[in-house]
C-alpha cells in the first residue's frame, strides 16, 4: 500500500500541546544548529570584512586566474543569446502583435511611461522573446532557483518570456493602469504552474499569484487566432467543428464570388443566327430570368436543327406544356408535353433577316455590359481567393510552428499581465532530483581536469535545468535521477561548451561516491544560439 490510512485517530489534546510547547528547546536547537554560512543573512552584513580578507587570501594563495563575479543574468555564450524580436508600435493607440511562436501581445493605448513616469507618445520600440525548453533556459543564463519557506527549489518551466520597450534608446516603464497582456504559447497543459516575475534588483523570482492557464484545443485556438485577424479577439472555446470560422468566412467569400462569375457567364449574350426559310420554326415565350440571352431580343424563334428527323405532324398538336433546356453551343432542347405525351426537339434561336440589325445593336450593348460585369466579378473572385490563400498560409505557418515547436495535441496559452517590463515565467518549483548523489570529478575526454564556470544537469523529460557549482574541477553533491535519461551541459573557463550526452552519462553514472565525468569539449566559438543548440540534443 502506498499510504498508511488511519481512521479516527485520537486528536492532540490541549494538555498534550501545552506540555509540548517549549520555546527554550527550539531556540537552543536553533542556536546549536549549524547554519550554512551562505544562508545566514548576518554573514552578508557583519561578515563583509571577513569576505574581503578571505577573498584577498584566496587570490594570493591560489595560482589561478581570479574569476570575475558573474552577472545575475549571465548567458553562457555572449554571441549566442536568444534573440528578441523588435516591433515598432504607436504608443497612442492599441496594438496587437503576433509573435512567431503563436503568442499574442495586447498593448493598450497609453501603455508606456518614461523613466520620470511621464506618459510617452509616438513610436516605441517593443522587444520580446521567449524561452521554452531546456536549451533556451541554458542559453538564457537566467537563474532558475526559487526560495520558498526557506527551501530552495528549481523551476520547472512551462514557458518564460522577456518584454521591454524603448524610445530613443531609453528604457520605458508600463503605465500602471494600462498593463500589457501577453498570451504566451506554452508546451504543457498542466495547471500546476504559477506565474513569477524576476526581480533583478532583489535577484529573485517573485510569485505573482496570478492564474495563467488558458487551455484551448488546437483547432479552436487557431480559430481564435484567425478571429483576431479580423479584429475580433474572442476565442471560440466550445465549438467542435474542426474548420476555422475565419477560413470558412473566406471560403464562403470565394464560393460567392465564383458563383457570381458563373451567374454572369450565364448572361453572356449570344448572337442570333439568320432564320432558314426551309426549316421548321416555332415561337416560345421564354422566362427572362432563366434565359436572358434570348429574352433580350424580340421575335426570336426556335429553328429545328435536324429537319430530317423532325416529325412535322407534332406541329398540329395543341401542346399544353413546354420546357426549354440550354445545350452546348447555340442548341436548346425543347420538350413539349400534353398529358402523358411528350415530344423533344433540338433547336437553335433564330431571327428573321429584317430583325438582325436591331438585334446586333442590342447584342453589342449587352456584350459590353457583360464584359464589364464579368471583369468586375472575376476581380472580386481573385481577391477573395488571394485573401483565403493568405489566411491559409498564416494558418499553415502556425501549424508548422506548432508541429515543430510543440508536437503536442494541444496548444496552450499562458497569460501574463505585464505591469513591469522584464522576465516573466510560468513555473512549478521542484526539488532537485536526488536519487543519486555523487561527487563529480570533471575531466575532458583525455582525462585532463576541466575548470567549469557553468555546470547544468538536465533530465530529459522534465523542462528544468539544475545548476551546480564546480570548484577545483569537482562538483560535490551532483544529484540526479539515475533511472532517467540525463545530460550535462557545461561551460569551461575558456568559454567552450562541454557536454555529456545521455549514453555517456549512463555509462559513467553511479549512485554515490566519486564519479569521473568525461566531458566532450566543443572547440568552437559560437555565433548564434542555433549553433549551440545543435550540440545540446537530449
Partner 1 sequence: MQGTIDDTTAVLSTDDQLVLAAKADRAQFGILYNKYFDSVARFVYQRTSSKDEALDITQQVFMQAMIALDKYESRGFPFSSWLYRIALNEVNRRFRKNKNQRTINIDDASIQHVMSEINEPNSEEKEALLMMAMQELDEDEIQLLEMRFFEKRPFKEMAEIRDSNESAVKMKVYRLLDKLKGIMEKK
> Which residues bind to partner 1, rule: CB under 8 A?
1-9, 11-12, 14, 16-17, 20-23, 25-27, 29-30, 33, 35, 39-42, 147-151, 191-192, 194-195, 207, 209-211, 213, 429
Burial bucket for residue 490 (CB in 10 Å: 0-12, 13-18, 19+): buried
Q: Where are the alpha helices (DSSP H) in 230-355?
A: 245-266, 292-295
For residue 83 the three cell numbers come to 534573440
Q: At which residue does the C-alpha cell 580578507 appear? A: 53
> Exposure of 284 by Cβ count < 10 A (0-12 exposed, 13-18 middle, 19+ buried)?
middle
DSSP 54: H
CB 445 within 8 A of CB 420: no
Give the Cα separation of 251 and 228 in Å (integer).
Answer: 17
- Of residues 157 and 194, the one with the C-beta less far from partner 1: 194
Rounded least distance, CB 5 to partner 1, Å: 5
Residue among 2 and 68 whose Cβ is closer to partner 1: 2
C-alpha 414/C-alpha 160 separation (Å) is 10
Q: Which is nearer to partner 1, 211 or 358 (CB)?
A: 211
For the bound state, the minimum distance from the C-beta of residue 191 to partner 1, rounded and expressed in Å, comes to 5
For partner 1, the closer of residues 28 and 520 by Cβ is 28
Shortest Cβ 34–partner 1 spacing (Å): 10
The rounded distance, in Å, linking the Cα atoms of 143 and 153 is 11
CA distance 44 to 38: 8
3-class SS of residue 47: coil
Q: In this complex, which beta carbon is closest to partner 1, that of residue 244 or of residue 432?
A: 432
Nearer to partner 1 by Cβ, of 196 and 489: the residue is 196
- Taking the least distance from each CB to partner 1, the nearer of 204 and 473 is 204
Q: How far is the CB of 89 from partner 1 (least distance, A)?
A: 30
Of 8 and 88, nearer to partner 1 (C-beta) is 8
DSSP 112: E
**For residue 111, what are the contacts with CB-CB under 8 A and spacing of at least 6?**
91, 174, 175, 178, 179, 180
Distance in Å, CB of 471 to partner 1, minimum: 24
Q: What is the DSSP letter of 502?
A: H
Which lies closer to partner 1 via its Cβ, residue 14 or residue 353?
Answer: 14
Q: What cell was used for 42?
A: 548576518
DSSP-assigned letters across all residues of 277-298: TTS-EE--PPPTTT-HHHHTSS
In a 3-state reduction of DSSP, which class is residue 50?
A: helix
Contact between residue 301 and residue 349 where contact means Cβ atoms under 8 Å apart: yes
Q: Which is nearer to partner 1, 183 or 355 (CB)?
A: 183
- Least Å distance, CB 31 to partner 1, is 8
Q: Compute the least distance from the CB of residue 24 to partner 1, in Å.
A: 9
In angstroms, give the least distance from the CB of 72 to partner 1: 17
Q: How far is the CB of 482 from partner 1 (least distance, A)?
A: 16
Structural contact between residues 101 and 130, judged by C-beta atoms closer than 8 angstroms: yes
Distance between CA atoms of 77 and 70, rounded to whole angstroms? 13
Side-chain-facing half-sphere of 112: CA atoms under 13 Å:
26
Q: Closest approach of Cβ 22 to partner 1, in Å?
A: 8
Amino acid at each position: 500500500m502506498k499510504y498508511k490510512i488511519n481512521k479516527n485517530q485520537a486528536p492532540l489534546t490541549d494538555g498534550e500541546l501545552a506540555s509540548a510547547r517549549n520555546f527554550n528547546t527550539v531556540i537552543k536547537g536553533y542556536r546549536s544548529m549549524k547554519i550554512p554560512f551562505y544562508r545566514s543573512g548576518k554573514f552578508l552584513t557583519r561578515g563583509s570584512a571577513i569576505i574581503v580578507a578571505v577573498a584577498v587570501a584566496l587570490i594570493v594563495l591560489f595560482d589561478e586566474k581570479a574569476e570575475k563575479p558573474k552577472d545575475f543574468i549571465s548567458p553562457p555564450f555572449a554571441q549566442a543569446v536568444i534573440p528578441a524580436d523588435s516591433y515598432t508600435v504607436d504608443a497612442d493607440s492599441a496594438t496587437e502583435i503576433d509573435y512567431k511562436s503563436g503568442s499574442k501581445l495586447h498593448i493598450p493605448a497609453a501603455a508606456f511611461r518614461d523613466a520620470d513616469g511621464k506618459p510617452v507618445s509616438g513610436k516605441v520600440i517593443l522587444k520580446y522573446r521567449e524561452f521554452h525548453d531546456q536549451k533556451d533556459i541554458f542559453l538564457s543564463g537566467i537563474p532558475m532557483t526559487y526560495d520558498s519557506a526557506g527551501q530552495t527549489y528549481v523551476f520547472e518551466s512551462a514557458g518564460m518570456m522577456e518584454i521591454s520597450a524603448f524610445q530613443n534608446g531609453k528604457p520605458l516603464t508600463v503605465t500602471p493602469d494600462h498593463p500589457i497582456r501577453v498570451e504566451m504559447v506554452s508546451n504543457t497543459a498542466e495547471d500546476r504552474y504559477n506565474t513569477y516575475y524576476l526581480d533583478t534588483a532583489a535577484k529573485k523570482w517573485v510569485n505573482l499569484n496570478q492564474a495563467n492557464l488558458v487551455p484551448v484545443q488546437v483547432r479552436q485556438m487557431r480559430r481564435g487566432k484567425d478571429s483576431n485577424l479580423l479584429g475580433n479577439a474572442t476565442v471560440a472555446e466550445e465549438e467542435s467543428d474542426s474548420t476555422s470560422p475565419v477560413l470558412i468566412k473566406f471560403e464562403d467569400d470565394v464560393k460567392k464570388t465564383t458563383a457570381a462569375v458563373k451567374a454572369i457567364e450565364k448572361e453572356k449574350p449570344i448572337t442570333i443566327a439568320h432564320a432558314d426559310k426551309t426549316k421548321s420554326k416555332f415561337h416560345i415565350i421564354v422566362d427572362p430570368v432563366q434565359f436572358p440571352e434570348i429574352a433580350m431580343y424580340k421575335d426570336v424563334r426556335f429553328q429545328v436543327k435536324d429537319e430530317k428527323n423532325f416529325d412535322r405532324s407534332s406541329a398540329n398538336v395543341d401542346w399544353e406544356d413546354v420546357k426549354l433546356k440550354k445545350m452546348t453551343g447555340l442548341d436548346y432542347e425543347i420538350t413539349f408535353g400534353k398529358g402523358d405525351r411528350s415530344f423533344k426537339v433540338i433547336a437553335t434561336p433564330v431571327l428573321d433577316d429584317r430583325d438582325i440589325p436591331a438585334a446586333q445593336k442590342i447584342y453589342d450593348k449587352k456584350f459590353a455590359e457583360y464584359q464589364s460585369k464579368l471583369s468586375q466579378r472575376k476581380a472580386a473572385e481573385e481577391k477573395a481567393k488571394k485573401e483565403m490563400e493568405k489566411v491559409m498560409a498564416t494558418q499553415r505557418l502556425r501549424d508548422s510552428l506548432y508541429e515543430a515547436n510543440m508536437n503536442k495535441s494541444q496548444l496552450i496559452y499562458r497569460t501574463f499581465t505585464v505591469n513591469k517590463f522584464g522576465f516573466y515565467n510560468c513555473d512549478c518549483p521542484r526539488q532537485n532530483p536526488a536519487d543519486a548523489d555523487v561527487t563529480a570529478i570533471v575531466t575532458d575526454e583525455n582525462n585532463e581536469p576541466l575548470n567549469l564556470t557553468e555546470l547544468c544537469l538536465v533530465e530529459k523529460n522534465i523542462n528544468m535545468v539544475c545548476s551546480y557549482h564546480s570548484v577545483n574541477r569537482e562538483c560535490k553533491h551532483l544529484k540526479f535521477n539515475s533511472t532517467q535519461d540525463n545530460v550535462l551541459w557545461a561551460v569551461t573557463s575558456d568559454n567552450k561548451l562541454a557536454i555529456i550526452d545521455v549514453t555517456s552519462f549512463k555509462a559513467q553514472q553511479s549512485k554515490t561516491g566519486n564519479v569521473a565525468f568525461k566531458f566532450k569539449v566543443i572547440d568552437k566559438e559560437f555565433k548564434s544560439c542555433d549553433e549551440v543548440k545543435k550540440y545540446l540534443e537530449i
